[in-house]
Structure 1
Amino acid sequence: MRIAFEKVINWLEDDWKIPAPEACMLLGQIAEARCTQVVNPKYTYICKTNKAVLVGYHG
């Protein structure tokens, strides 16, 4: 899950110009995350957000 969130934070920094500390706080409020696969011992998680929320975000 950490990797999934890290990828989204990087995307928010690069494409939306949101600094990492703000991106972390924002994701804490709007992220949709879940485990999508469990095959012992591998796990796959996703982290996503609605772009409509980001359009209205002004930092």
Structure 2
Amino acid sequence: MKIIVNGETQVTSAATLAALLDALGQGKAKVATSVNEVFVPKQQRTEHSLHDGDRIEIVAPRQGG
């Protein structure tokens, strides 16, 4: 299926948000996620199904000033 991750179109076979993060090498990273502009808590990522055309944002915290 085709999805958009942080503004870039990607093709994936990941069925869930957690599986997508694993495929992107960010499965254990401390990140915030949203699907179609709706925040998805870490505890719900394994249950959150992805669909063709979904827009996923993955944001990592940054330090500094």
Bigger share in helix? 1
Larger radius of gyration: 1
Bigger share in strand? 2
Q: Same fold (TM over 0.5)?
A: no
TM-score by length of 2: 0.30
